Amino acid sequence: MNSERTPSFAEGGCLCGAVRYRVYGPPLSSSMCHCRSCRLASGAPAVGWIAFNSNDVRLLQGHPATRHSSADVVRSFCPRCGTPLTYRNRDEHDVLELTTATLDHPEAFAPTREIWLEHHVGWQAVNRDLPHHLHGSEEPPIATTR
């Protein structure tokens, strides 16, 4: 069987184990985001996100809490331990982004780009081998000397 047609399978969840999810189907993208909103929502200098078709993500256990971090964005997190779990933009309702580090095996889903370098924290290293975007990935990559 062609491996490109075989649905990928991954599981993940929050720190305390109250929320667990499973993913079927290939990722649509994988990014490291440096935007201020992601930094504040996570308490980290950058956040790894992996996007999937919404229909490919199934909640196995628990009920994440949600919050609008802006008019167009809803984020979810574990209501017990606070682990950030998902990001959904109103303009892309069929896409659900998961925090890559909440996957049981995040090393299997390395980022392919870094976005929102405009908000980059200067002491945070960036991966020179990846394309860098000043804002979102819909813009062309920028040259960087970071």
Q: What is the pLDDT of residues 37-60, one digit of tens each?
A: 999 999 999 999 999 999 999 999
Which pTM does this prediction carry? 0.87
Which residues of the chain fall short of a pLDDT of 70?
1-8, 144-146
8 A C-beta contact, residue 34 and residue 115:
yes
Question: What's the pLDDT score for residue 74?
Answer: 96
Interior angle at CA 41, CA 39 and CA 42, nearest 5: 65
8 A C-beta contact, residue 96 and residue 24:
no
Beta strands (DSSP E) in 25-64 are 29-33, 47-53, 57-61
Tokens of 63: 């009920």
For 16-30, what is each residue's pLDDT tens digit?
A: 999 999 999 999 999
Question: CATH number of 9-112: 2.40.30.10, 3.30.750.24, 2.170.150.70, 1.20.1530.20?
Answer: 2.170.150.70
Question: What's the pLDDT score for residue 108?
Answer: 92
What sections of 13-134 are H helices per DSSP?
A: 36-42
